[in-house]
C-alpha cells in the first residue's frame, strides 16, 4: 500500500523569532500518525505573503495532505485567509452560518459588542468548504487541488485541537490510509551507542516495514518501533512479536515498556506495591519532587520532601550529625545515609531517596569536583543502598541528570527490596 | 542596510510524529534575532535522505544562512553527516582533533571504553570546517556554497546551546550585520494588553530604528527594545535613554530592569538585604524550590523547603492544626497561614512562602475549583500576608503560574516589609 504523506505549515512571526514554541505541530504530528499519515515536512513561516506562497508550493511536493495553522485572526497581520483565497483563485464572500456563529459567540460567550474586524471573520473564500470552529471565531477551511487537500486551521492551540477530529475524519474519508503501529520502551543505564551495539542484530534483521528509532534524553534512551502495513491485525501481531523480542534484547536497562517518563514508571511501581515515598534533596533543590508531582495522581504514593539546601537544615531538621558534616562534608556517602534516615523519620514514608552533590559552576573543593553526587535509597525496614555519580554538564543538566538517576536508583532499590 | 535572512532545519522523525516538541528552533530563532538575523523559514524533516536534500534545496532560497540541527549521533538512523558530505561533494575522513576529543571524553568523562560507532563520530566530511562540541561527541560542521553558509549542529539541546555562541560569531564575522542593541525589562502584574495601553504613547513615539517587543510568559511580560544602526556608540546612548523612559512608564509592575527570571530577581533582593528564605509547598511540589536553586549561588539566601504533599506531613511536620485541615481544607487561607508559620519555625529563615492549591485535572470539590491557589508570605518578625489566585490552565502551566506568582508575591512582601 502506498504511504500517505502530509506537510504541516505553521504561520506567524512569533514562531520564527522563538517567542512561542511550536507545540501545534507536535500535536498535529501525533494525531496524523495515529491514523497512519506520515508527516513528511514541517514548515514555519512568518506573516509575509510571498514567503507563505513559497512554502505552499514546497509543501505540496510529494505530499497529498497539507495542514496549515495560524494567521486566521482578525488583526492586520493575519493574512492567511485572503492569501489562500488568491492562491486557490477564489473570491471572498460572507458565509452566513459563520456570521451567525460569530454573532452568537459575541452575544452569549464574550458578552461584548462585535466590531467590524470580528464581522470580517465570516468572510470566506468561495472556493473552500468551511470547517466550523466550535471554540472561536475563525473557521477552518478545506481547499482541494486535484488529489491534494489543503486544510487551514486557527493557530490558537485549543481551537485547533477541537477542530482536529473533523480534520482527521475528512482525511480518512478521502484517502485509504495504511495501518500504523508504534511500540516504545524506556531504558536507562546504557548510552545510545552501547544500546545500539547490544541490539544490533535485532536492528539489522528488522523487516522493511518496521523502523527503529533511538530517542536519547538525559541519560535515558527511548526505543521506538514504527511499523506500517495494509492489514491492521497482521501488523499488530508483527509489532507485538518484535516488541517482545526487543524488550528481551534490552535486558535489565529496561525501565518501562511504554512511552512514559521515569517519574511515572516509579509511580506505577509504588502504586502496584501500595507503598509511599519521599525525598531528601540538597543539590537537586526540589527538582525530584517536582518531577514526581508533575504526574497527576502522584499524591497516592508521593508524600513530601525536605529540601535541605543549607548545612543547618541538614543538621537541625534531618538530624545529620554535625560531626558527619564536619568530617566528611555535605557531599559524602555518610551524609546522604543520615539524610535518608532523617527523612524516613521526619516524613514517615516506606521509601526515600536522599541526594547531595555539587551542581556547579561553583562549589568544587580540591577533593570534590563539580558534578560529584552522592545518593542513598532507603526503606523504613532499615535497608539502604548508596551510590555516587559524576556528571559533567552545566548546572541545569547536572540537576536533571541527578534527579532522573536518583529516581532510577530508587526504582531499582524498590524492585530489589 | 540589507536584511540578513536565515533558515532553520531540524532533522529527526521524532519531531514529525510529535514525540518531541521542537524547542531548538525557538532557541535558535531568539539567538539569531539578537544579532539582527531574521529567520525566514523553518523546516522539520525526518531521517530520510531524499527529503533532507529537498529541504536543503528549499532552505537556501532567499536565505544566506542555513542552520541545521539533529541526526549527527552515532546510530544508524543518524544520516545527516554522510548526507551533507554527499550534498557538498566531499569525502569522509578522520578528523584527528575530534577523535582526540571523543577519546578524551570516553576516558575522562564517561569512563567507558569506546566502540566503533563512537570512533565514527570523528569521521568528518573533508569539505567542512569543524566546530568543536564541548558537551558531546558529535562535532558541528560549517559548509560554504558561494555566499551561503550551512552550519550543522547536534540536536541534543544542551550541546546545540553550548555551540551557538561560536555559530553566532561565525555569522557575525561572515556577514556585515548592523550594530544591534537590546534592552529588556521584566514586569509582572499587568496583562499584555493593559501594559500596551499604559505605554502606548511611548511606543508610538519610538524612532524607526527601534522596535518594542512584548514577550509574555506565564503572567510575566518581558519588554524588549531592539535598536539597530550603523554607529555603535550613538546607538548605545539612544537605547539607554529610551530604556530609562520605558522603565518610568512601566511603573510599579517592574520586577527587574534586566533580562533575568523572577527567581533571580528575588535572589538579588535577598542578597542586598542579607536575608534568607524558605518555602512550604503543597501543590507546587518543590517547583518553587527548583526555580530558586536553578540560580547559581542561591545557597546564599535560599536555605530549604518542606514539600507537604500529603495531609499528614502538613499536620505532623508543619504543625498545621488538624482542626484547621478538617474545617477549612488543605486549600485555604487558614492552612497556608499555619504552613508558613510552621515553615519559619522548622527552617528558621527570615522569610517564607507557603502555597496550597488544586492543579488539576482532578482534585476539585464543589466549592473549590481546579486552579484555586492560596498563598501566604511571612517573615520571622511575625508579619504575614495572604492572597488567593485562580488559574485556568493545564496542570503543568498551573504549577508554573503558581510558582512565579508566589515568588513575586513574596518579593513584594519583602520590599514592603
pLDDT digits (tens, 9 = 90+) for A138-185: 899 999 999 999 999 998 888 899 999 999 999 988 997 778 888 999
- The closest CB to that of B286, out of A58, A192, A289, belongs to A289
B236 within 8 A of B228, measured Cβ to Cβ: no
The H or E element containing residue B242 is helix B232-250
The CATH architecture one would assign to domain A179-256 is 2-Layer Sandwich (3.30)
Question: Looking at residue A105, what is its pLDDT?
Answer: 86
Among residues B345, B347, B335, which one has the least CA distance to residue B376? Answer: B335
Computed over every residue of chain A, the mean pLDDT equals: 93
pLDDT at A3: 80
Q: Which of B18, B29, B309 sits opposite A18 (nearest CB)?
A: B29
pTM, two decimals, is 0.83
Partner-chain residue, chosen from A215, A302, A393, that has the shortest CB–CB distance to B19: A215
The nearest CA of chain A is from the CA of B38 a distance in Å of 7
* pLDDT(A21) > 90: no
Q: Which pLDDT score, from 0 to 100, does residue B20 have? A: 79
Measure CA of the first residue to CA of the last residue in chain A; give whole Å: 50
Per-domain boundaries in chain B: 4-174, 179-256, 262-416
Q: In residues, how long is chain A?
A: 417
Best CATH choice for the domain B4-174 from the list 3.40.980.10, 3.40.50.2300, 3.40.50.1010, 2.60.40.10: 3.40.980.10
Q: Do domains B4-174 and B179-256 have the same CATH topology?
A: no
Q: Which residues of chain B fall below pLDDT 50?
A: none
| Contact assessment for residue B32 and residue B39, using Cβ atoms and an 8 Å cutoff | yes
Considering only CB atoms, which chain B residues are within 8 Å of A15? 25-26, 29, 42
> What are the backbone angles phi and psi of residue A171, rounded to the nearest 5°?
-65, -45
**Which residue of chain B has the CA closest to A391?**
B109
Tell me whether residues A61 and B73 touch, CB distance under 8 A: no
- pLDDT tier at A75 (50, 70, 90 boundaries)? low
Dist. CA A411–CA A291, nearest whole Å: 14
Instruction: Chain B: give the shortest CA distance to residue A236, in Å.
Output: 19
User: pLDDT tens, B394-409?
Assistant: 898 899 999 999 999 9
- Predicted pLDDT at A372: 97
DSSP state of A136: S
Chain B residues in contact with A296 by the CB 8 A cut-off are 360-362, 395
Whether residue B287 and residue A286 make contact (CB cut-off 8 A), yes or no, is yes
Task: State mean pLDDT over A296-316.
Answer: 97
- Phi/psi of residue A351, nearest 5 degrees: -130, 160
Looking at residue A229, its pLDDT comes to: 86
The helix or strand, by DSSP H or E, that contains position B89, with its residue range, turns out to be none
Q: What does the pLDDT look like over A23-38, one tens digit per residue?
A: 899 999 989 987 889 8
pLDDT value of position A216:
81
Inter-chain touch A40–B61, beta carbons under 8 Å: no
Rounded Cα distance, B150 and A37, in Å? 31
Measured CA to CA, the distance from residue A393 to residue A415 in angstroms comes to 29
For the stretch A336-361, what's the b/e string if a residue is b when 16 or more beta carbons lie within 10 angstroms of its beta carbon?
bbbbbbbbbebbbbbbbbbbbbbbbe
Say whether pLDDT at A404 is over 60.
Answer: yes
How many C-alpha atoms does A237 have within 13 Å on its Cβ side?
Answer: 5
pLDDT at A1 exceeding the cut of 60: no
Q: Could you tell me what percent of chain A has a pLDDT over 70?
A: 98
CATH class of B262-416: alpha beta
Residues in A touching B18 (Cβ below 8 Å): 25-31, 33, 39
Cα–Cα distance between B352 and B301 in angstroms, integer? 11
**For residue A77, what pLDDT is reported?**
66
| Interface test with chain B among A286, A301, A369, by most B beta carbons within 10 Å | A286
Give residue A76's pLDDT.
62
CB atoms within 10 A of CB B73: 24
pLDDT at B46: 92
Q: Which residue of B lies nearest to A313 if distances are taken between CA atoms?
A: B347
For cell 571504553, name the residue.
B113
How far apart CA A315 and CA A318 sit, in angstroms, is 6
Closest CA to A186 of A195, A175, A194: A195
Reduce the DSSP state of residue B285 to 3 states and report it.
coil
User: In angstroms, how far is the first alpha carbon of chain B from the final one?
Assistant: 52
Q: Which one, of B69, B157, B258, B118, lies nearest residue A394 by Cα? A: B157
| Mean pLDDT within A293-320 | 97
Position A78 scores a pLDDT of 76
Amino acid at each position: 500500500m502506498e504511504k500517505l504523506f502530509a506537510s504541516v505549515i505553521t504561520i506567524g512571526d512569533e514562531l520564527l523569532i522563538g517567542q512561542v514554541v511550536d507545540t501545534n505541530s507536535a500535536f498535529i504530528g501525533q494525531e496524523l500518525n495515529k491514523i497512519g499519515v506520515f508527516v513528511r515536512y514541517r514548515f514555519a513561516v512568518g506573516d509575509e505573503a510571498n514567503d507563505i506562497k513559497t512554502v505552499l508550493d514546497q509543501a505540496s511536493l510529494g505530499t497529498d495532505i497539507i495542514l496549515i495553522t495560524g494567521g486566521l485572526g482578525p488583526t492586520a497581520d493575519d493574512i492567511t485567509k485572503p492569501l489562500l483565497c488568491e492562491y486557490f483563485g477564489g473570491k471572498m464572500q460572507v458565509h452566513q452560518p459563520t456570521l451567525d456563529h460569530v454573532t452568537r459567540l459575541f452575544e452569549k460567550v464574550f458578552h461584548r459588542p462585535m466590531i467590524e474586524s470580528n464581522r470580517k471573520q465570516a468572510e470566506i473564500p468561495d472556493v473552500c468548504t468551511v470547517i466550523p470552529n466550535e471554540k472561536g471565531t475563525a473557521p477552518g477551511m478545506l481547499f482541494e487541488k486535484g488529489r491534494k487537500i489543503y486544510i487551514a486551521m486557527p493557530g490558537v492551540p485549543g481551537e485547533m485541537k477541537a477542530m482536529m477530529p473533523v480534520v482527521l475524519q475528512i482525511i480518512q474519508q478521502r484517502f485509504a490510509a495504511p495501518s500504523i503501529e508504534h511500540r516504545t520502551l524506556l531504558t536507562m543505564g546504557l548510552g545510545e551507542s552501547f544500546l545500539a551495539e547490544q541490539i544490533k542484530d535485532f536492528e539489522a534483521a528488522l523487516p522493511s516495514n518496521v523502523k527503529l528509532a533511538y530517542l536519547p534524553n538525559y541519560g535515558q534512551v527511548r526505543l521506538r518501533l514504527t511499523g506500517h502495513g495494509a492489514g491492521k491485525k497482521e501488523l499488530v501481531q508483527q509489532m507485538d512479536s518484535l516488541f517482545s523480542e526487543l524488550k528481551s534484547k534490552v535486558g535489565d536497562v529496561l525501565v518501562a515498556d511504554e512511552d512514559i517518563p521515569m517519574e511515572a514508571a516509579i509511580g506505577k511501581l509504588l502504586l502496584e506495591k501500595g507503598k509511599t515515598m519521599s525525598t531528601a534533596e540538597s543539590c537537586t533543590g526540589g527538582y525530584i519532587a517536582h518531577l514526581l508531582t508533575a504526574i497527576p495522581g502522584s499524591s497516592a504514593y508521593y508524600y513530601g520532601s525536605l529540601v535541605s539546601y543549607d548545612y543547618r537544615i541538614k543538621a537541625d531538621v534531618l538530624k545529620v550529625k554535625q560531626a558527619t558534616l564536619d568530617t566528611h562534608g555535605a557531599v559524602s556517602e555518610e551524609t546522604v545515609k543520615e539524610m535518608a534516615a532523617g527523612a524516613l523519620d521526619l516524613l514517615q514514608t516506606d521509601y526515600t531517596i536522599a541526594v547531595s552533590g555539587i551542581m556547579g559552576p561553583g562549589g568544587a573543593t580540591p577533593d570534590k569536583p563539580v558534578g560529584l553526587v552522592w545518593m542513598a535509597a532507603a526503606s523504613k525496614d532499615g535497608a539502604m543502598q548508596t551510590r555516587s555519580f559524576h556528571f559533567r554538564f552545566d548546572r541545569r543538566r547536572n540537576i536533571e541528570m541527578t534527579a532522573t538517576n536518583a529516581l532510577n536508583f530508587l526504582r531499582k532499590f524498590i524492585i530489589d527490596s
